[in-house]
Amino acid sequence: MGKPLSDASLRVGLLTLRLVLQRAVRMKLIAGNPVKEVEWRGSPSIAVVDPFSGRELREIIAAAQRIAPDLATMLWLWAQTGMRAGEVCGLQWGDLDLERGVALVQRTWSRERLGPTKTRQSRLVSFLHPVLDDSSEWRSGATERACGVLHALRGAKVRSLTPEAFVFGHGSRPMGSMELHRRWKRVLLATKVRYRSPEQLRHTFASTKLSRNAPLLYVQQQGWRSATVLLRVYARWMPQPSATQAQPAPVNVAGTTGRNAG
């Protein structure tokens, strides 16, 4: 049996067929285009979630600080916000409030163009979440290490006074995807951390927050379309009730619980 076609191949094939049949209509070879109104809906994509541990994140940041301090700051902020890659690259200095430790996420850098976020909505997020710490704490600014990214941002070697300048990039131009992945690979090679793509930093943020009992709605507001999406992708990281907690109290014949329910 042949290998099944991918969604991308099927989409291209359908588009090609539609164009061919549309030309046949113009040449009056057929009366109408039978696939003109066909809407392609591919199979739902399932995110591959392979998060980093706190120890791995600390090793990555430490290696990046030795090799490329600006990249270290970027990865640190990325891990503590759960932003998408294009959103981190699209951050401008005017988006950051270094007094409050928050960032306004309002654009993304993708395919060499600036555009709106995936949800087409702006959001305000904290970049002080203690994701790098081996802790049960999830609240923003709860640990000294989490606040360390503030010092890194304030001490950036190249910091433009122009609010429109990009935080991670080259002045008026954000860091490109190829450059980001090339520098990421260099950093990972300097550690003993098993290789995963930098996009796993977003998954690490969500899985870490939920594993520490952070409110589902709070995590969702940090950059996910809905709580349903969070549950579908990250439910296995949420703490499960113990058997004793899940077991209901005994009920007597009269419908009361316990020995002295009255």
Domain boundaries, the chain: 11-42, 54-237
The pLDDT score that the predictor gives to residue 111 is 85
The pLDDT score that the predictor gives to residue 257 is 42
Gap between the Cα atoms of 4 and 203, Å rounded = 29
Instruction: Please provide the size of the chain in residues.
Output: 262
The pLDDT score that the predictor gives to residue 142 is 93
- Residues of the chain whose pLDDT is less than 70? 1-8, 37-47, 157-161, 242-262
DSSP string covering 66-100 = HH-HHHHHHHHHHHTTT--HHHHHT-BGGGEETTT
The pLDDT score that the predictor gives to residue 261 is 40
* Angular region, 117: left φ>0, alpha ψ -120 to 50, beta rest: beta
User: Which CATH number is associated with domain 54-237?
Assistant: 1.10.443.10
The pLDDT score that the predictor gives to residue 33 is 84
The pLDDT score that the predictor gives to residue 175 is 93
Task: Determine the straight-line distance between the first and last CA of the chain, rounded to whole angstroms.
Answer: 70
